[in-house]
Amino acid sequence: MDFKTDILDGVTRSIDAKDLKDFLFLQGKYHAQDRFVQMEMLRIVSQGRICELLDDTEANLAIDKHMRELGIYHYSVIEEEQLSEHGKKLLTSYCDGVNSRISQSIPLEFTIMGHRPEKWKIADCIVSIKAMAYLGLAQGQQDLQKLFIQMVKNGVPSDKINSLSQNQMGDLTEEIIHLIKKVNLYNPLIPESYNFLKNIPKVQASNNWLFKNESGEVLHASDPHLEVNRLPAVWYEMKATVANSKLFGISMPGVPGIVMGRKDGLSFSFTYGFMDMIDFFIEEVKDNKFRDGSEFINFDVRREVIKRKKKNDVKVIIRKTQSGVLDAPSDSPLLTDGIYLSTAWSCRSNGSAKTLESILGIFESNSVDQLVEHTSNVSISCNWLIADDNGSMAYQQSGLLPKRKSTGLVPLIGWIEENRWSGIYEGHELLSFKENERNSIVTANNLIERDGFPKAINAPMGDYRHDRVVELLKEKKNHTIEDFKRIQSDLVSLQSKKFLNKYKDNFKDSKYSTLLDWDYSYSTNSKKAVVFEEFYRVLTKKFFSEHLMNKEEILFCLDQTSFIADFYGLFDRLFLEEISEEESKLWFSNRKKEEYIDLALDKMTSSGRLWGEINKIDMNYILLDGKLPAFMGLDKRDVQIPGNRATIVQGQVFNAHGRKSSFCPSWKLITDMSTGDLYTVLPGGLNDRPLSKLFKSDLNNWISFGYRKNSL
């Protein structure tokens, strides 16, 4: 095979191949050489085989059960048959490249553990897509819906739940409330939860924007926000020359192709779209059967065995109804009669194979329209921004959007046929537009919708990051690369600014009046950022504990879930926006907004610490997760993280499902479409070898807001 390869700046893998088939073979080979621990850990976790292959503990058994119940590997094997012959050939070439490497050498850690990896298969590529589509994306929406369900079970008035959801729960009838209160809730969010999976990239948020200068050239910026409290970095940066075509961007080890970056005269990036692709349904179970209309019929049953190294194997039974997969103990052969929930997730058995073909289609795309078509068929919920060197700018929504009867937040009765999903919208039916009137397009996980397109989002993030980007873009009619670096590094919180401006008199009369002199920056050396966060925590705790949850539950939400980090905008609206008289009576009849502010200011205590002393993470090698001795210096401990949930640099650190998590820029891209230059930075390095100088080769650059200059 005739090819060239190089490592650029100790970070980027460069490959020059004669055609796409050869490139994919080489990409697979070097993915396996540089990141096979990352690839194999994701595969093992997704298969639900941790106890069999790595570490047999009760905690890992819970993860294995969850992944078997989710069924993503089971359906990945089935989905392989949905690939076109062309797609199979390309994916086979990638897998051949992976296997050529692991047949020669595997990471020493696996040898020590006695683990011999199996051959890499097409299903292993497909499952990576499914895993990303679920964890952090569908799972976050699922947690929100389960939280609402638990509020109903706990007796929270339906009008308050409907108000909190911005009137998205009008279908919460007395009949449904009655049934929800009888539900046998499996894996409740509050007050206990199950462990989630550090080895699967958890997509949570992101920013991207396009800006057209007066001369017509477009600048493109993107920074996907994922967990960064791990090494290696999630993404693998690549420069590709395939025949006469040039690409530069990021790939996901285990998945062929380039998912974000530049291609000749085109650029493409995505943020998480917050599309609701998951619903609960209410099911009735009797005599180990489920209700369908007026009858009780047998479940569609899938049986699997979880093998264990140290203990007896565990048999699991996954039961499927007409609406979804039953949320019930999978290790129990018999179910107690009663009311249950089932879960419908649009990506469970569809879309991932087509996503891989769409990603590979990027190599053959030569226009904005072609990229729009390919990205529209991606199953993961994304806001895609696409530009070219002629000044064109486009937006494309992606994801498998269900055709549903209601908004998706209320669990409907599953035994009534008309309540079930009636299909999935095709990619070309999703929101799509070219921007010809304005000079920019900005997305930051905010609500994006237009007339004539199906409603996809019922619980977006707050608008603060989006609005701050727009605010900074409006400062000038023409922007440069340096301007974009400044915007991408901005630490100002519009959330704190709005609270302080609206309740200025309350803060002025408190012992924290110095907050009014704050610049709203969440820099690591800010003390005032800590003061505001302490105020906000006390405010949310007081408000929620009076209206929605008991103190134990709200503390769990604040300390052990991403609920506030994801959906804080639902809460902020009640305090920052003009709400109806009816809503005011609902929430503030006993205590006015200003009284809550005063109470929070009175009850809070300021630690006097710096933001960086509080908002920090350990970036640990994923296989050992902090077990390496600190003196070795292989992990990166106590990394101070600037920013918070509402700043462009989203530096959000929190606990979720029993472990520390984070949303931070997992890669940064800035490019001027009139040139072939790109400016990027990665929170890690080229490989996953802790003793290699390339393990953390770009990390200090990322910490210091630096960039590397690259070219196509």
- Residue 86: name the closest of 130, 21, 32, 167 by CA: 21
CA atoms within 13 A on the CB side of 27: 31
Q: What is the mean pLDDT of residues 660-672?
A: 92
Residues 605 and 238: their CA atoms lie apart, in Å, by 48
Q: What is the pLDDT of residue 25?
A: 99
Beta bridge mates, 202: none
Contact of 149 with 371, CB cutoff 8 Å? no
pLDDT at 131 over 80: yes
Q: What is the pLDDT of residue 193?
A: 34
Of 121-135, 359-373, 502-516, 629-643, least confident by mean pLDDT is 629-643
Residues 56 and 604: their CA atoms lie apart, in Å, by 44
Domains in the chain, number: 1
Q: What is the mean pLDDT of residues 555-568?
A: 73
Q: Strands 412-413, 278-286: parallel, antiparallel or unpaired by DSSP?
A: parallel
Burial class (CB in 10 A: 0-12, 13-18, 19+), 86: exposed
Residues 664 and 228: their CA atoms lie apart, in Å, by 6
Per-residue b or e along 162-181, where b marks 16 or more CB atoms closer than 10 Å to that residue's CB: bbbbbebbebbeeebbebbe
Identify the three-state secondary structure at position 546.
helix
Taking the mean position of all CA atoms in its chain, how far away is CA 356? 18
The verdict on residue 544 lying in a domain is yes
The verdict on residue 598 lying in a domain is yes
Q: How does residue 195 score in pLDDT terms, banded at 50, 70 and 90?
A: very low
Q: What is the pLDDT of residue 551?
A: 74
Q: Strands 236-242, 12-17: parallel, antiparallel or unpaired by DSSP?
A: parallel
φ and ψ of 391, to 5 deg: 95, 5
Contact of 461 with 445, CB cutoff 8 Å? yes
Residues 157 and 151: their CA atoms lie apart, in Å, by 8
Residues 404 and 420: their CA atoms lie apart, in Å, by 7
Q: What is the pLDDT of residue 474?
A: 98
The verdict on residue 583 lying in a domain is yes
The verdict on residue 12 lying in a domain is no
Q: Name the CA radius of gyration of the chain, rounded.
A: 25
Q: How does residue 200 score in pLDDT terms, banded at 50, 70 and 90?
A: low
Beta strands in 299-426 (DSSP E): 300-306, 314-320, 325-327, 338-345, 382-388, 393-398, 412-413
Q: What is the mean pLDDT of residues 188-213?
A: 65
- Residue 644: name the closest of 617, 666, 668, 663 by CA: 663
Of 136-140, 294-298, 566-570, 698-702, least confident by mean pLDDT is 136-140
Tokens at residue 173, please?
A: 């009838």
Amino acid at 648: I
The verdict on residue 433 lying in a domain is no
pLDDT at 192 over 50: no
Of 271-275, 424-428, 548-552, 705-709, least confident by mean pLDDT is 548-552
Contact of 52 with 276, CB cutoff 8 Å? no
Percentage with pLDDT > 90 across the chain: 83
Contacts with 108 (C-beta within 8 Å, 6 or more apart), sequence order:
none
Contact of 309 with 315, CB cutoff 8 Å? no
Q: What is the mean pLDDT of residues 268-293?
A: 97
Q: What is the pLDDT of residue 555?
A: 75
Contact of 398 with 137, CB cutoff 8 Å? no
Residues 606 and 106: their CA atoms lie apart, in Å, by 51
pLDDT at 479 over 70: yes
Residue 71 CB neighbours (<10 A): 20
pLDDT at 571 over 60: yes
Q: Cis before residue 117, ω within 30 degrees of 0?
A: no
Q: How does residue 107 score in pLDDT terms, banded at 50, 70 and 90?
A: very high
Beta bridge mates, 221: 209, 670
Burial class (CB in 10 A: 0-12, 13-18, 19+), 188: middle
User: Measured in Å, how far apart are the chain's first and last C-alpha atoms?
Assistant: 23
Q: What is the mean pLDDT of residues 258-263?
A: 98
More confident residue, 100 or 148: 100
Q: What does each C-alpha distance from 536 to 257, 599, 603 come to in angstroms?
A: 43, 11, 11
Tokens at residue 352, please?
A: 């991932």
Q: What is the pLDDT of residues 331-378, one digit of tens each?
A: 999 999 999 999 999 999 999 999 999 999 999 999 999 999 999 999
Q: What is the mean pLDDT of residues 558-569?
A: 74
Q: What is the mean pLDDT of residues 208-224?
A: 98
Residues 258 and 252: their CA atoms lie apart, in Å, by 8
For tokens 């400062």, the residue is: 475
Burial class (CB in 10 A: 0-12, 13-18, 19+), 409: buried
Sign of CA dihedral 149, 151, 155, 158: negative
Q: What does each C-alpha distance from 671 to 197, 222, 668 come to in angstroms?
A: 33, 9, 10
Amino acid at 673: M
Taking the mean position of all CA atoms in its chain, how far away is CA 548? 26
Residue 617 CB neighbours (<10 A): 21
Q: What does each C-alpha distance from 702 to 12, 578, 643, 695, 708 come to in angstroms?
A: 15, 40, 14, 14, 10
The verdict on residue 513 lying in a domain is yes
Q: What is the CATH number of the domain that holds 606?
A: 1.10.1400
Q: What is the pLDDT of residue 186?
A: 86
Q: What is the mean pLDDT of residues 394-411?
A: 96
The DSSP code for 230 is S
For tokens 């129990």, the residue is: 332
Residues 597 and 292: their CA atoms lie apart, in Å, by 50
The verdict on residue 146 lying in a domain is no
Q: What does each C-alpha distance from 78 to 255, 400, 545 come to in angstroms?
A: 18, 18, 46
- Helix axis angle, 20-47 to 58-70, nearest 10°: 120
Q: Strands 382-388, 266-272: parallel, antiparallel or unpaired by DSSP?
A: antiparallel
Average pLDDT, whole number, for the chain?
93
Q: What does each C-alpha distance from 381 to 400, 427, 475, 667 come to in angstroms?
A: 7, 11, 31, 19
Q: What is the mean pLDDT of residues 99-121?
A: 96
Element (H, E) at 270: strand 266-272
* Parent domain of 556: 494-613
Per-residue b or e along 220-254, where b marks 16 or more CB atoms closer than 10 Å to that residue's CB: bbbbbbbbbbbbbbbbbbbbbbbeebbbbbbbbbb
Q: Cis before residue 232, ω within 30 degrees of 0?
A: yes
The verdict on residue 109 lying in a domain is no
Identify the three-state secondary structure at position 94.
helix
Residues 381 and 375: their CA atoms lie apart, in Å, by 11
pLDDT at 658 over 70: no
Residues 13 and 17: their CA atoms lie apart, in Å, by 13
More confident residue, 145 or 24: 24
More confident residue, 138 or 511: 511
CA atoms within 13 A on the CB side of 329: 8
Residue 602 CB neighbours (<10 A): 10
Sign of CA dihedral 468, 470, 471, 472: positive
Q: What is the pLDDT of residues 33-87, one digit of tens each?
A: 999 999 999 999 999 999 999 999 998 999 899 999 999 999 999 999 999 999 9
For tokens 């006993």, the residue is: 590
Q: How does residue 191 score in pLDDT terms, banded at 50, 70 and 90?
A: very low
Residues 405 and 170: their CA atoms lie apart, in Å, by 12
Q: What is the pLDDT of residue 194?
A: 37
